Structure 1
Amino acid sequence: MALFIKILSLRHRYFWVVLISIMSCLLPWVKAIGQKSLGAKAPWPVTTYEAENMTTSGKLLGPVYGPYQVQTASSDQMCVALKGANAFVAFTAQQRANAMVIRYSLTDGASGESRQAGLLILINGKAAAHAAICSKYSWLYGDYPFTNRPQAGKPRNFYDACRIKALSIEPGDQITIKLEGTPKDASSCMIDLVDLENVPPPLKAPQGAIWLTDARLVSEQTSAGDYTVALRKAINLALKSSKKVWIPAGVYQISGDILLPSDICIQGAGMWYTNFVGDSANYPNPQRRVRFKGAGDHIYLSDFSITGKLDYRSDEEENDGIVGSFGTNSTISRLWIEHTKVGMWLDNSSHLTIEGCRLRNTIADGINLWVGVTSTVIENCSARGTGDDCFAIWPMASAAQKYQPGHNLIKDCTAQLPFLANGIAIYGGNSNQVRDCLLEDISAGSAILLSTTFPTKKGAMDNNFSGKTRIENCRISKSGGFDHSWDWRGAVEFCLDKKNITGIVLKELSIDSSLSSGIHIIGHTDNGTITTNTDTLLNFQGRMDNIRIGKFGLGTSVNTTDGLSVTGPVGGVLECQNTQLNKTEHKASRLLIKGD
């Protein structure tokens, strides 16, 4: 009140100066509380620090937005290059933490051989931890499905990550990360970002559980440190006694399939404490990989990590990671999956819940709901650095389909930085939904893609789009990049590949800083993409409500991209309400756009 009286006593012109200053401070706050929050709403325990904002002795690279560039594959399309021993980045911690993830790119050798180096972590100038890094699980080249030979050109999959725990970081601490090794070992190392997290203590064993480390089980090991046989035995004992399988903190090598029958529960001490790892020597054999294979109902997996040893892609080989059928009412909770072909590739599951999982640096998809998946929820999951769609729903038609696919929900999820394909992709099905998701830095495809490219019809079975497919309340940024098969994708794209897409509802989307167009609707027939108006039109039916498209064309030209772009033989109706498309372009299209 005293301040208010003092302001009134000032000369007239000074009153307005002060008032304007006060209002300029208040306006951002007013705007913030008046604007609906978009994107993932579930709390995420990680604080991310971008390398471009750190103090460094290295070189800032970017931003760059074109394909086959390490900068484009970085968050915010920028990174820092460290060259030579003792090159560093440094930053100030904002919150307490005891664990760290460093996303790095270490260049391959000239012939594609893996290079090794080290990162030294210092806290307030004192050495706290050392992380060994290598290029073995990054850097692929050439055309799909890619090779490890640099001579093939077209590099991708630049990044890997290392995890460090048992740190002690307080707010205000100075964190320094130094590159160790000779120039021969590490000619260049890019740092993209650092995650800090305060990991809770390890969980305690459930009462009466079967311990994997029980001496009676460990004696069944086929080799020192290999727990494949022991885990199979523990599962059998747990089923007979109606108990859980408990995996205490530790590292456990797995070198073969782990079959998951009905009513089995496998629990670890936490994704930072319990780790199932592959056997490097045996991993080239697809049957000797880390593979948890669902084969029943009421299966419960929680609180552990899976770390594979896969460094190439072959679609003919069986997927590792979490695969198979989870029947009815199963849950997969708080898993960390890395360096496998896929994180999860699931079929014939109903009312499955996947929650709190992290998919990292896989060769292909993060999570794919494949044949016969219905009423399944993926929530509060994060995918980063996947080699195909971060999250996908592909209701492929198959004689093995047990449930009618559809009514699946992806919510409160974060998709970032896949080196191929899209953030979230839906390839058909009845009334699937995406809600409250954050999608950013999707530079090799679309943040959200709805497409008919992959088969969903076989005989009388047709799982193409039906009902209402809803995409709601999502935040999208720096997406819509170059796809090796489809050229530049829109940040949100509808790809009518010889089939119709109908029943689409987009609501409350923020799309900003798109590398190409904000929204792209493309029709494709056997005659090509751009066709004459005499061709049979593909039918698109959709509605947009409260869509905001900001900047676009960062990776191309604003003259060749648009807020909304429609190309090819597309007919039908798109209704728009309370929507700012920024710029609209029709190319050989008869799509009717109605509304504002």
Structure 2
Amino acid sequence: MKLMRLAIAAATAVVAAAAALVPAAAVQAAGGDNLAAGRTMTASSQTQGYAAANAADGNQGTYWESANGAFPQWIQVDLGSAADVSEVVLELPALPAWQTRTQTIEVRGSADGSSFTTLAAAQGYTFNPNSGNSVSIDLDAADVRYVRLVVTANTGWPAAQISEFEVYGESGAPSQTGELAVHKPITASSTVHTFAAANANDGDVTTYWEGANGAYPSTLTVSLGLNAELDRIVVKLNPDPVWGARTQTFSVLARDAAGGDFAQIKASAQYAFDPASGNTVSIPVSGTYGEIRLQFTGNTGAPNGQVAEFQVFGEAAPAADLAVTGMSWSPAAPSETDAVTLSARVENTGEVSSPATAVDLTVDGEIIGSAAVPGLAAGAAATVSVPIGSLTAGDHEVGAAVDPNGTVVESDEEDNEYTHPDPLAVSAIATSDLVPSAVTWSPSSPSAGDTVDFSVTIGNQGSLASASGAHGVTLKLVNSDTGAVVRTFTGSYSGVIAAGGDSGAIDLGSWTAADGQYAVEVAVAVDGNEHEVKQGNNTASRTLSVGRGADMPYTLDEAEHATPGGGAQILAPNRKIGDLAGEASGRQAVVLDGTGEYVQFTTTADTNTLVTRFAIPDAAGGGGITATLSLYVNGQYLQPVTLTSKYAWLYGAEASPNNSPSSGPARHIYDEANVLLDDVIPAGSTIRLQKDAANTAAYYAIDFISLEEVAPIANPDPARYVEPSGFTHQAVQNALDQVRMDTTGNLDGVYLPAGDYSTAQKFQVYGKAVEVIGAGPWYTRFYAPTNQENTDVGFRAEATANGSTFSGFAYFGNYTSRIDGPGKVFDWQNVSDMTIDNTWTEHQVCMFWGSNMDGIRITDSRTRNLFADAINMTNGSTDNLVQNVESRASGDDSFALFAATDSGGGLQSGNVYENLTSILTWRAAGLAVYGGTGNTFRDIHIADTLVYSGITISSLDFGYPMDGFGSSPTTDFDNISVVRAGGHFWGQQTFPGIWLFSASKVFQGIRVSDVDIVDPTYAGIMFQTKYTGSQPEFPVADTVFTDITITGAQLSGDEFQSKSGIGIWVNEMPEAGQGPAVGEAVFNGLELSGNHEDIRNNTTTFELIIN
């Protein structure tokens, strides 16, 4: 019967989702606005996803349904303030599938949410889909804030059901009288799981706060933002009968809104909570206070205090009210070289005097200075001034904010900010401004052996024409792996370049492409008419990829290759865990730790996006901080970039770090931020990240930026792709269900328009193949709840949906640490012929984990800042393709293939991983292959692994049933770069660029060709063997390397120096449980250079055959 109920509910949901398509004559309200629209709905219970909020979402196709077989049930709306209500209109979905039914309903009203009176006596109301499935109920006139429906019977289903709950009447004017605590700042001394303090005043009785187990005394404190003359406090728990009766012991404390010590205003007492009586207690209090605290010492129903809603009733007390009423500046018409003084007029428009405070003055949204404001009597005003120095040319928005730290208790906190209606216009100085406005090559995506032609265009962004004569330009092609300059090209343009004009393309020469990653660095000579302040943008750098790695639509510009200024420092490279340089790409970053310090990049292509990889400090107790960093374009402030360290900074044990700084040394200290800009920034512009006075983090380490120009992808066919009715999880699931249940054959899938989608669980995809298409990962974005952590979101797909496609969207999770099991956006098993394309995954555990899959295609996607693997395929997964994917900062192997058999499946073969980039893996390898036969890994770029090998080739089974490597067809690794890879983990174990570990299963049939290993942390290639007692388990066999280069293996200078500086190391006795490596390997075309020690083989058990 349970399965039948679930099937019926699912079908009903699909019917409801399409209800709006059927016209019907609905009941019409008497007139006026629906006072309940968008208001907070709460209910005695709910079934599955049919939540109370559905009754106020304006969509007749969604609905609330109570628990089954448990009448009476209720649903109520909080109107926000008292209103003279006169009518209620109720709806159910209007499709004929919703058969006529009668529900017995009583309407009640309340001023405080606790004491209710009857507004309409209990009566049967008939809902008929032929008349719109609506009913109207006239009410006895009453002035109430809360309206409740009590349902005692339903002839159509054993539960209460309401699609839309509308209330009509005359709304009262909002005032400070009444419930003062809803949605105000609220904190707790402790929490358990996800039962956060914010749940206790969110207006939803089905969510709650709970303190940590046994952590008494436990406190819950709400800040009203102003003092109020208190009347009573109401504490609620969920009235659902599943909450058994309990007694909680707590006292009530309070203090002034301005601070001070808390005083007890209600002695500790035992309060009985019982669902039979609403699970609510009301406590009379008195006095004038601004912060109210509950202090718990006992709970008979749980190991700490529990509160679903913490309500404070009273009336606002008289207070000051500070406002900025005007601004001015001097001189009135400044130029770029004039020093400017800003002034602001502050007035106290409140009823009582205000104490001394401050006012912040802003330019283009950033704080530029602060001035003291004296205490002001009611009605008094003061004008204060701040010298702010010179500004760049252009129009600047100026503003001010009084009492920025909120130290003054005010009757209105919303009028503290002011923006001047006119811009502060700064005239430009007369100068030329030469930039490399376009840096191009042809072909744009060369292959090895192609002839590549380079050209540069010089643009003049200044207000004066350039001087006559030659304007030189230099282009350097730099190997990104080694730092070596491959070629230098020079050229020039002769003649005057007009203001706003350019030179046209200047041909610089040709180069025969070779596989690898390159930086194309361009510098334009300083012009005779170019002022010094305009010379910082004369350089630019672009990335050129040939053959190896993913070809992504964005550039990656390293901060150490950009222009630092204002005292910013480029960090010297190192390989230390938890270090700002050691955890950066290229092992260098730029640190901004003083006001005015910046790093500036010159764009080489148009962009309307910005991604920056950064590090800012953690909070003292962990959990991260949030801070802004100023973004300037062409010298003018554009906007702040918001950064958070919430998802970075782990501590303690290397294999199981946590978020507590007291646990030990730090690791994983970087994260990324992304911004979609309002306008396109043209090529040749400067982008500056700068620490201004408003940027409050102690330091900002900038690793790199990524830039790309994007535009939204349109619905391919609105007649065939359903669009969700909103941006909620349920709206998207309804759209998926509508496609699944379509019997016409006219629907192909779901189109997700641009927007931010909230999701707290996995979407269910089954029944038929469906295309889920977004507007692109910059536009269609799924977000896990920001007030939670570690929420399992994504797509669950069944074999009945084989052939489905998922493309054009992003997933931003809320994981702050690794949890094995959940956290995978795509967590699939026993499916085939699926496509994942053009997706972006961040702050999850994994992007993709697949078991026993065939014909899966994962293409053109990006993953960033994960807590485990980016992509892992296992258990007989065959004939799958992973192509053109970039992984940045994964918390386990970026790309993995694991031939386990614990969940079924057969031979793991025929998989192709190609054109992949893995950088900054902070645990495990860039590429890891554990067993299998006939799998191919090619055209890959791996760099800057923090603690592990660049490539792991291993037959270790980790205690799971697993197949080793097959002999034929071979497992092939071809055309790969491994740069600055290796590290130490598992205690004293060090890892090389490529690690070959013959372990618990057969190790054979390995082919590695055309691989460059550059600057490894400890060793280039290392062989190891696992032992049982004194016996090796399996030797390295039938393993051949062809055309391998290993360069730059140098002594590490750390505690592992004896294991470093080695090109090829046959490890003689690395760790407990192992012994000298056993077997043999053949090298054809081996090149070794710049290594401290080219080859170390002190064993008698392993033979290196070097031809």
Under a length normalisation based on structure 1, what TM-score does the superposition of the two structures give? 0.86
More strand by share: 2
Match for residue 492 of structure 1 among 983, 994, 997:
994
Q: Which moved more, 1:517-526 or 1:346-355?
A: 517-526
Alignment match, 1:389:
893
Q: Deviations over 1:289-343 (max 9, x none)?
A: 322112121121001000001111122x423311113622111001000011111
Counterpart CA distance in 2 for 1:552 and 1:116 is 39
Alignment match, 1:238:
739
Counterpart CA distance in 2 for 1:496 and 1:70 is 35
Match for residue 585 of structure 2 among 60, 75, 80:
75
Alignment match, 1:510:
1012
Larger radius of gyration: 2
Q: Deviations over 1:83-116 (max 9, x none)?
A: 1444321121122211111000111022213211
Alignment match, 2:1087:
580
Match for residue 550 of structure 1 among 1032, 1038, 1047:
1047
Alignment match, 2:561:
53
Match for residue 539 of structure 1 among 1027, 1036, 1059:
1036
Indicate conservation of the 8 Å contact 2:999/2:1034, yes or no. Answer: no
- The one-letter code sitting in structure 2 at the alignment partner of 1:306 is Y
Alignment match, 2:778:
272
Which consecutive residues of structure 1, in runs of 5 or more, have no partner in the other structure?
1-23, 219-224
Alignment match, 1:564:
1064
- The one-letter code sitting in structure 1 at the alignment partner of 2:1023 is I
Alignment match, 2:186:
none
Q: Which moved more, 1:245-254 or 1:494-503?
A: 494-503
Counterpart CA distance in 2 for 1:270 and 1:503 is 41
| Alpha-carbon offset, residue 495 of structure 1 | 1.6
Match for residue 940 of structure 2 among 437, 447, 450:
437
Q: Does 2:687 align with 1:169?
A: no
Counterpart CA distance in 2 for 1:517 and 1:357 is 31
Q: Which moved more, 1:418-427 or 1:50-59?
A: 50-59
Q: Deviations over 1:475-512 (max 9, x none)?
A: 12111222345622110111223444211101111111
Alignment match, 1:355:
859
Indicate conservation of the 8 Å contact 2:724/2:732, yes or no. Answer: no
Matches within 5 A, 1:149-160: 149-160=660-671
Matches within 5 A, 1:207-226: 207-214=718-725, 218=726
Counterpart CA distance in 1 for 2:593 and 2:835 is 45
Alignment match, 2:245:
none
Alignment match, 1:294:
797
Indicate conservation of the 8 Å contact 1:101/1:196, yes or no. Answer: yes
3-state SS in 2 of match to 1:165:
strand
Alignment match, 2:964:
464
User: How many pairs are equivalent?
Assistant: 547
Counterpart CA distance in 2 for 1:161 and 1:595 is 44
Counterpart CA distance in 2 for 1:25 and 1:49 is 20
Counterpart CA distance in 1 for 2:806 and 2:920 is 26
| Alpha-carbon offset, residue 118 of structure 1 | 0.4
3-state SS in 2 of match to 1:151:
helix
Counterpart CA distance in 1 for 2:825 and 2:836 is 12
Indicate conservation of the 8 Å contact 2:1018/2:1059, yes or no. Answer: no
3-state SS in 2 of match to 1:349:
coil
Indicate conservation of the 8 Å contact 1:276/1:290, yes or no. Answer: no
| Alpha-carbon offset, residue 31 of structure 1 | 11
| Alpha-carbon offset, residue 406 of structure 1 | 2.0
Indicate conservation of the 8 Å contact 1:211/1:245, yes or no. Answer: yes
Counterpart CA distance in 2 for 1:182 and 1:121 is 12
Indicate conservation of the 8 Å contact 1:540/1:570, yes or no. Answer: no
Match for residue 402 of structure 1 among 895, 905, 924:
905
Q: Deviations over 1:9-56 (max 9, x none)?
A: xxxxxxxxxxxxxxx979xx9996275566526632221111112222
Indicate conservation of the 8 Å contact 2:1084/2:1106, yes or no. Answer: yes
Indicate conservation of the 8 Å contact 1:359/1:366, yes or no. Answer: yes
Q: Does 2:714 align with 1:203?
A: yes
Counterpart CA distance in 2 for 1:204 and 1:537 is 55
| Alpha-carbon offset, residue 157 of structure 1 | 1.0
Q: Which moved more, 1:174-183 or 1:104-113?
A: 174-183
Alignment match, 1:591:
1102
| Alpha-carbon offset, residue 254 of structure 1 | 0.7
Distance 1:554 1:179, change over 3 A: farther
3-state SS in 1 of match to 2:734:
helix
- The one-letter code sitting in structure 2 at the alignment partner of 1:301 is F
Counterpart CA distance in 2 for 1:463 and 1:359 is 28
More helix by share: 1
Counterpart CA distance in 2 for 1:61 and 1:41 is 27
Counterpart CA distance in 2 for 1:229 and 1:499 is 47
Indicate conservation of the 8 Å contact 1:424/1:448, yes or no. Answer: yes
Alignment match, 1:190:
701
Q: Deviations over 1:198-250 (max 9, x none)?
A: 22443334342444433xxx4xxxxxx5x222222111111233421010000
Indicate conservation of the 8 Å contact 1:293/1:325, yes or no. Answer: no
Indicate conservation of the 8 Å contact 1:203/1:270, yes or no. Answer: no
Alignment match, 1:33:
512
| Alpha-carbon offset, residue 559 of structure 1 | 7.3
Distance 1:323 1:275, change over 3 A: same
- The one-letter code sitting in structure 1 at the alignment partner of 2:680 is S
- The one-letter code sitting in structure 1 at the alignment partner of 2:814 is K
Indicate conservation of the 8 Å contact 2:1052/2:1060, yes or no. Answer: no
Indicate conservation of the 8 Å contact 1:476/1:509, yes or no. Answer: yes
Alignment match, 2:844:
340
- The one-letter code sitting in structure 2 at the alignment partner of 1:92 is T
3-state SS in 1 of match to 2:586:
helix
Distance 1:113 1:331, change over 3 A: closer
Pairwise CA RMSD:
2.5
Distance 1:463 1:485, change over 3 A: farther
3-state SS in 1 of match to 2:666:
coil
- The one-letter code sitting in structure 1 at the alignment partner of 2:614 is Y
- The one-letter code sitting in structure 1 at the alignment partner of 2:688 is T
Q: Does 2:919 align with 1:416?
A: yes
3-state SS in 2 of match to 1:373:
coil
Counterpart CA distance in 1 for 2:629 and 2:830 is 40
Under a length normalisation based on structure 2, what TM-score does the superposition of the two structures give? 0.47
Task: Work out the percentage of aligned pairs sharing the same amino acid.
Answer: 24
- The one-letter code sitting in structure 1 at the alignment partner of 2:685 is D
Matches within 5 A, 1:294-313: 294-296=797-799, 297-313=802-818
3-state SS in 1 of match to 2:591:
strand
Matches within 5 A, 1:78-93: 78-93=588-603
Indicate conservation of the 8 Å contact 2:1026/2:1034, yes or no. Answer: no
Distance 1:25 1:63, change over 3 A: closer
Alignment match, 1:522:
1024
- The one-letter code sitting in structure 1 at the alignment partner of 2:920 is L
Indicate conservation of the 8 Å contact 2:872/2:895, yes or no. Answer: yes
